[in-house]
Structure 1
């Protein structure tokens, strides 16, 4: 190859290198421009969203999205009134319970009347959301003090028989009142409590046969016999079951639940007992009293007492609760939808 050809070849090679450098530089510039364009587009998108959000916030909100509708298709439900632990005859002096309670026949009369009157109000409120034609008036026992302990023999205001007559008359008056004023069919399940026993110790096999309260219930059932819209269901054992809105509802006094105190309260022993009973016969909800405390669980309701806090409650360090009875609602679709205290003081 001549010198001239070599020079020409070198010049050509140099031109190719220069062109490659220009191409690489242009590619780099294009890449930077593309990245810049992407960044600017992202900023623009964010800016547009911020403006859209700002405009939405600054705009006047709509206020016409919800209209009032009168519900003409209320679901069927059954109301429940739990009456338990009146302890008629017992006397509680304020100085014996740090001023937290007072109870005697006069106080009992006021609380009983208030209970039935407030029940009617609760029923009227419940009817704004449900169709209720039946009211269960559950009598769960311990209506009398019963003088079952020596100290009660000393301090009770009246004898078990006198207390039984008082209880019978108030229950009869309450049932009559609710029957006339509520417009509901009344179903009255009855179980006896441990305070109503006629024996010194509880007799498990013949518990009902040795109970003042069992006699009260039969007396009431006889008094209302033939009365349309009032039906009694008197237990011969520990439990009485009712099918309400397609669900089995268990009623009992509650003394068979064993509880000796504890930081977790009544919840654990009550749940264990209910679960055990459910293995032989399942209940969707179990209502019980005895423990003088209101507590609402998905599967059981512990109901408060009319007598209120007493010296024994203080002695065992029980939680203070004001005197109450319990109102509940069983709904045809959802089951137990309400369990509330009926407060009995002014």
Structure 2
């Protein structure tokens, strides 16, 4: 009994110390009124009045890998990446999403926008080769990306009236090389970035009540747009993908297990949204985002499919659910081929 009591006291002291550390961290970075659980009322309320209501657009930003360097000569010249290119691509995605929605779907009303921050926002420190070749330290990358995302989010808010920003942490931003389940998101540079973004934006009276953040303490974020229930996760918990079907089976198996789990918890969802896999796919009840970093040396060595850097953009209609599923390309288009767009060989 004495040994058991001593062990329990030691465990209690350890937990108290850990709780105090987390409290101190949150006191530093949580010095802001952040909505971390409940989406705003406008997302789940009635649609705005108007003759043509398109619904609420969602732009997903994930796998930005700020800080990573991709060397052109190591990927057969199909891609190059560094902080300068990353900033240019991110700005093009923000501008491109506005143009796609405003020009392609004009006229019409949207009634706000969801901007997902889906993890792997910075390159991180989990691999030595990434640290050795990065053009910024991870701390510098957090600052750089913060300074890019703040005006980007404000520009989208100015365009669409109000924003809701659900956030989840990825695997690249974790502090430990081995994944950590306890307090995993809070020990991640993505989490730190999200808190700084919320702090900066909510310090501006113009945007304080117009941009809300959903920053969970866990690995997933659940929210609803009108009648469509979304479950956001980074995607690194789904394993496999080396077979002839690629990652399709891991996605389907992971979605089935996640639906079963959340159904048992009384939190069923309609659409699973994730990043991590660097391949943009719309699969009905599953949405997988692309990436900003593009094709890199790891993808080359692993024989992954080539895909240009792009991010996902879709609409949630108040009645029809998911509509208008598009890709926002992060690079400028290549010069057009001057040859005729169609040719017919003359009969002999």
TM range (shorter): 0.7 to 0.9
Among 185, 189, 194, the residue aligned to 2:166 = 189
- The CA RMSD measured in Å over matched residues stands at 1.7
How many positions carry a matched residue from both structures? 275
Q: CA 1:122–1:76 in 2, change beyond 3 Å: closer, same or farther?
A: closer
- Give the match for residue 194 of structure 2: 217
Q: Indicate the residue corresponding to 2:229 in structure 1.
A: 248
| C-alpha spacing 1:150/1:277, structure 2 compared with 1 (3 Å) | same
Q: Does the CA contact (< 8 Å) of 1:301 and 1:339 recur in 2?
A: no
Partner of 1:285: 271
CA, structure 1 residues 334+129, in 2 after alignment: closer, same or farther (shift >3 Å)? Answer: farther
In structure 1, the partner of 2:127 is 149
Tell me which residue corresponds to 2:72.
94
* Larger-gyration structure (1/2): 1
How far residue 338 of structure 1 moved from its aligned partner, in angstroms, is 2.5
Give the deviation of 1:298 after TM superposition.
0.7
TM-score by length of 2: 0.76
Higher helix share: 1
Q: Which residue of 2 aligns with 1:177?
A: 155
Give 5+ residue unaligned stretches, structure 1: 1-71
1:247-297, CA deviations, whole angstroms, 9 ceiling, x for partnerless residues? 111111111111231111222210111121112322211111101111110
Q: State the distance in 1 between where 2:325 and 2:287 align.
A: 7
In structure 2, the gaps of 5 or more residues are 1-49, 263-267, 333-348
Q: Is 1:232 aligned to 2:218, yes or no? A: no
Q: What secondary structure, in the 3-state scheme, does the structure 1 residue paired with 2:258 have?
A: helix
Provide closer, same or farther for how the CA distance between residues 333 and 313 of structure 1 changes in structure 2, counting only shifts above 3 A: same
Structure 2 distance, partners of 1:164, 1:214, is 10
Confirm or deny that 1:113 pairs with 2:99.
Answer: no
Higher relative contact order (Cα pairs below 8 Å, separated by 6+ residues): 2
Mapped to 2, the partners of 1:267 and 1:235 lie a distance apart of 27
Instruction: Work out whether 1:159 is the aligned partner of 2:137.
Output: yes
Aligned counterpart, 2:344: none
